[in-house]
């Protein structure tokens, strides 16, 4: 199946439509909330939470013996929250830094989850097959009811975000100050963190425990490159996330059913890569171009300033001088001189140069500017 | 150069009313006490410096007064009522380094945050708040930079933005944590002039300060702190070698030119 066929199928095929819609909503909500995680420098928290959710899934299955995805995700939510609050507790009560706490909880919970999974696989219960799909996710198992669930959670998320926008923003920027204004910072903090956990748990079925944090971080990191406004960043991250979901599903469906989760994550990473290189203000490409241009300008300015010093002592600004004297000055090269000629700042006659009216004016301005800057 | 003309020293305008009263305040990180049994009265209308060596607990004192840190013991009252009931009378300027200046927001937006406290939950700033924020920006000379992304401001400009954010709160008492750290002489004079204006308007200003040389020039009240309170009072009475030596532990000679 190629891409055009896929696009046709999205509108006709029920399953494909469900999956596409599901991954798009998932991408949007994780991108949105991921912006907050990235700005709080809690990028790794997502990774720890998603890994911490695994034992919850296993325990929920052991208790109910059924593979109802809502119940399994409830289990994931609970153990994800427990993991998160343990991390907070460790950071608060011990001298350990948060990266250590995150690493500890991540491996502890994930290890325990894997242990439970292998235990379950040894059980005679025939139902257990396919529980390991939560490791890497399987978008194909998304049902309409799952997508509804995602849509509802996203809706709640969005309304809370809009309602408490001001509080979220100030807490992200300056938590101590927020406290002095009389806001209950712990409440805002728990609200944000809980929604991040919720978004991660929603994505476990589709993208899986191992790759879920990429869904949280990649769209947000990409969005940060394009804007200096928080609202724009959140919006862009949602859009990037949604498109990653849609493109990822399209590619995976049209290429022999490649595993959807990893493809979505790779698409999201492409967004990041493109943003890192091509963003007009923060991108590497334009930064490099600006750097080279500045260096060239500076070279011209240096030569011009040097010439000005020579010319200044003469009554007639167009009085010719030997090119040779410029050689003593290390900033001078033939190409610099040619550039000045092209700009009509300097005329060359044999091995003598002289300023034009325009060139003298430019050099004077430059000189005054430098003096003003030094003051 | 810092010229004396700009920062002439006035006599304390204290009214005799106690603005801030700290009782038996003790703060510890784990088992190590950072502040030990601090009793402090700050009279209304003074411009007070808190001085002391690194690790003396200067920032901790401010943060505990403001409820950012939880003390083991002690209480704080503002105009004779518990701090929690008087928050709207108090404004805070944190250390510049305490936030991420690469945060995606503008100078005006940061100053607007000063209005969030009086707005309360959920309500968004409107025209009135925006006007107040612009006025504060004007006061600190940052109006031309209002739409500038905050990472593109210099250290001094960032400090002025923080000051403007506190000014918007229109408080009675201002707590500032090293507002002169890493700013150039021009900004330092601009800031101290604003602080003196605040004092003239009857406000109380408390500043964590590091440069002992400028204490007599800038402030009329001083508190010496080194885990314990060493001394507090008018600069002209207690800013002497004896207290400096007690606070800094070395034989400190103030070489203040009279």
Convert the pLDDT of each residue in B67-99 to its tens digit.
999 898 999 999 988 888 888 999 999 999 899
- Chain B residues closer than 8 Å to A229 by CB: 104-106
Q: Which of A163, A167, A177 to mutate to test the interface with B (most CBs of B within 10 A)?
A: A177
Distance CA A259, CA A213 (A): 17
Total domains in chain A come to 2
What is the predicted pLDDT for the residue at A276?
Answer: 93
pLDDT at B7 > cutoff 50: no
Distance CA A46, CA A106 (A): 10
A317 & A212 share domain: no
- Chain B residues closer than 8 Å to A170 by CB: 113, 116
Distance CA A361, CA A369 (A): 12
A209 & A325 share domain: no
What is the predicted pLDDT for the residue at A81?
Answer: 92
Mean pLDDT value across residues B110-117: 94
Q: Enumerate residue ranges in chain A where pLDDT < 50.
A: 373-375
A164 & A305 share domain: no
Q: Please report which confidence band the pLDDT of residue B55 belongs to, taking 50, 70 and 90 as the band edges.
A: confident
A159 & A307 share domain: no
What is the predicted pLDDT for the residue at B5?
Answer: 42
Distance CA B206, CA B91 (A): 10
What is the predicted pLDDT for the residue at A229?
Answer: 92
A144 & A269 share domain: yes
Q: Which of B116, B168, B173 to mutate to test the interface with A (most CBs of A within 10 A)?
A: B116
Closest to A339 measured CA to CA, from A294, A303, A369: A303
Structure tokens at A40: 């709080």
CATH number of the domain encompassing residue A360 = 1.10.10
Distance CA A208, CA A53 (A): 10
Is A291 buried (19+), middle (13-18) or exposed (0-12) by CB count in 10 A? exposed
pLDDT at B62 > cutoff 80: yes
The CB density around residue B184, as the number of other CB atoms within 10 Å, is 11
Percent of chain B having pLDDT more than 90?
A: 62
In chain B, what are the domain boundaries? 18-248
DSSP A109-137: HHHHHHHHHHHHHTSS-GGGTTTTHHHH-
Instruction: Express each pLDDT in B154-195 by its tens digit.
Output: 999 999 999 999 999 999 999 999 999 888 888 999 999 999
Task: Decide if B67 and A179 are in contact by the 8 Å CB cutoff.
Answer: yes
What is the predicted pLDDT for the residue at A372?
Answer: 52
What is the predicted pLDDT for the residue at A148?
Answer: 92
- Chain A residues closer than 8 Å to B88 by CB: 182
Phi, psi of B89 (to 5 degrees): -90, -5
What is the predicted pLDDT for the residue at A128?
Answer: 67
Mean pLDDT value across residues B16-24: 89
B92 touches chain A (CB under 8 A): yes
- Chain A residues closer than 8 Å to B105 by CB: 169, 173, 228-230
- Chain A residues closer than 8 Å to B121 by CB: 164, 167, 183
CATH number of the domain encompassing residue A172 = 1.10.3470.10
Task: Decide if B117 and A230 are in contact by the 8 Å CB cutoff.
Answer: no
A292 & A268 share domain: no
Q: Which H or E element spans position A7?
A: helix A3-12
The 8-class DSSP code of residue A138 comes to: -
What is the predicted pLDDT for the residue at A341?
Answer: 82
Phi-psi region of B96 (alpha: psi -120 to 50; beta: other; left: phi over 0): alpha
Structure tokens at A168: 């979220």
The 8-class DSSP code of residue A270 comes to: H
Percent of chain B having pLDDT more than 70?
A: 91
A276 & A292 share domain: no
pLDDT at B17 > cutoff 80: yes
Among A282, A298, A314, the domain-final residue is: A282
B87 touches chain A (CB under 8 A): yes
What is the predicted pLDDT for the residue at B9?
Answer: 47
Min CA distance, A336 vs chain B (Å)? 32
Q: Which of A172, A176, A189, A226 to mutate to test the interface with B (most CBs of B within 10 A)?
A: A176
The CB density around residue A117, as the number of other CB atoms within 10 Å, is 19
pTM for this entry? 0.84
Mean pLDDT of chain B: 87
Least CB–CB distance from A229: residue in B88, B104, B119: B104
Distance CA A105, CA A288 (A): 41
Residues B93 and B163 sit within 8 Å (Cβ to Cβ):
yes
SS3 string of A233-259?
HHHHHHHHHHHHHHHHHHHHHHCCCCC
Residues B177 and B196 sit within 8 Å (Cβ to Cβ):
no
Task: Decide if A39 and B103 are in contact by the 8 Å CB cutoff.
Answer: yes
Min CA distance, B228 vs chain A (Å)? 24
Distance CA A62, CA A67 (A): 10
Q: Please report which confidence band the pLDDT of residue B257 belongs to, taking 50, 70 and 90 as the band edges.
A: very low
Q: Which residues of A7-40 are buried (b: 16+ CB within 10 A; e: fewer)?
A: eebbeeeeebebbbbbbbbbbbbbbbbbbbbbbb
Mean pLDDT value across residues B6-29: 72
Using CA atoms, how far residue B80 sits from A198, B83, B173, in Å, is 45, 9, 14
Min CA distance, A185 vs chain B (Å)? 10
Min CA distance, B92 vs chain A (Å)? 7
Q: Please report which confidence band the pLDDT of residue B114 belongs to, taking 50, 70 and 90 as the band edges.
A: very high
A253 & A362 share domain: no
B152 → chain A, closest CA residue? A228
Exposure of A234 in the CB half-sphere (CA atoms within 13 A): 17
Structure tokens at B24: 């038996």
A238 & A308 share domain: no
A247 & A320 share domain: no
The residue range of the domain holding A338 is: 286-374
CATH superfamily of B18-248: P-loop containing nucleotide triphosphate hydrolases (3.40.50.300)
């Amino acid at each position: 199946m190629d891409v055009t066929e896929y696009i046709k199928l999205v509108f006709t095929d029920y399953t494909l439509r469900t999956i596409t819609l599901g991954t798009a909503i998932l991408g949007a909500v994780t991108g949105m909330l991921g912006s907050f995680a990235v700005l709080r420098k809690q990028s790794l928290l997502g990774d720890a939470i998603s890994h911490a959710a695994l034992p919850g899934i296993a325990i929920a299955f052991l208790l109910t013996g059924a593979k109802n995805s809502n119940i399994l995700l409830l289990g994931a939510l609970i153990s994800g929250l427990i993991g998160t609050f343990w991390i907070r507790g460790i950071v608060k009560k011990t001298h350990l830094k948060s990266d250590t706490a995150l690493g500890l909880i991540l491996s502890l919970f994930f290890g325990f989850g894997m242990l439970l999974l292998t235990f379950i696989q040894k059980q005679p219960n025939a139902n257990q097959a396919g529980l390991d799909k939560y490791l890497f996710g399987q978008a194909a198992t998304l049902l309409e009811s799952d997508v509804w669930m995602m849509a509802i959670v996203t809706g709640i998320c969005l309304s809370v975000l809009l309602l408490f926008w001001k509080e979220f923003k100030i807490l992200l920027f300056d938590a101590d100050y927020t406290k002095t204004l009389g806001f209950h910072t712990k409440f805002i903090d728990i609200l944000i963190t809980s929604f991040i956990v919720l978004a991660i748990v929603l994505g476990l079925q589709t993208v899986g425990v191992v790759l879920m944090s990429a869904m949280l971080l990649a769209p947000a990191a990409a969005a940060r490159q394009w804007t200096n406004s928080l609202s724009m960043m959140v919006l862009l991250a949602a859009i990037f996330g949604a498109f990653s979901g849609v493109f990822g599903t399209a590619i995976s469906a049209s290429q022999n059913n490649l595993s959807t989760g990893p493809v979505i994550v790779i698409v999201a990473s492409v967004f990041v890569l493109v943003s890192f290189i091509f963003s007009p203000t923060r991108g590497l490409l334009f930064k490099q171009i600006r750097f080279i241009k500045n260096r060239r300008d500076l070279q011209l300015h240096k030569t011009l300033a040097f010439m000005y010093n020579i010319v200044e002592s003469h009554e007639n600004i167009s009085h010719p001088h030997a090119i040779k004297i410029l050689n003593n000055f290390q900033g001078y090269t033939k190409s610099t001189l040619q550039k000045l000629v092209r700009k009509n700042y300097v005329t060359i006659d044999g091995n003598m140069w002289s300023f034009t009216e325009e060139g003298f004016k430019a050099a004077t301005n430059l000189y005054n500017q430098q003096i003003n800057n030094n003051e | 150069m810092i010229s004396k003309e700009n920062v002439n020293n006035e006599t304390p305008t204290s009214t005799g009313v106690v603005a801030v009263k700290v009782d038996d305040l003790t703060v510890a990180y784990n088992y190590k006490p950072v502040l030990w049994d601090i009793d402090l009265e700050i009279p209304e209308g003074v411009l007070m410096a808190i001085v002391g060596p690194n690790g003396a607990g200067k920032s901790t004192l401010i943060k505990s007064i403001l409820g950012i840190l939880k003390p083991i013991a002690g209480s704080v009252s503002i105009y004779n009522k518990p701090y929690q009931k008087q928050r709207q009378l108090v404004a805070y300027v944190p250390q510049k380094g305490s936030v991420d200046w690469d945060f995606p927001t503008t100078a005006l937006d940061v100053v607007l945050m000063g209005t969030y406290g009086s707005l309360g939950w959920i309500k968004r700033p409107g025209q009135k708040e925006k006007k107040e924020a612009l006025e504060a920006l004007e006061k600190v000379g940052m109006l031309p930079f209002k739409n500038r992304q905050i990472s593109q401001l210099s250290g001094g400009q960032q400090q002025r933005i923080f000051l403007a954010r506190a000014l918007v709160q229109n408080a009675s008492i201002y707590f500032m944590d090293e507002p002169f750290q890493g700013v150039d002489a021009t900004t330092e004079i601009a800031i101290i002039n604003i602080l003196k204006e605040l004092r003239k308007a009857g406000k109380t200003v408390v500043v964590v300060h590091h440069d002992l040389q400028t204490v007599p020039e800038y402030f009329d009240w001083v508190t010496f702190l080194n885990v314990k309170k060493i001394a507090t009072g008018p600069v002209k009475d207690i800013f002497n070698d004896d207290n400096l030596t007690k606070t800094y532990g070395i034989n400190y000679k103030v070489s203040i030119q009279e």
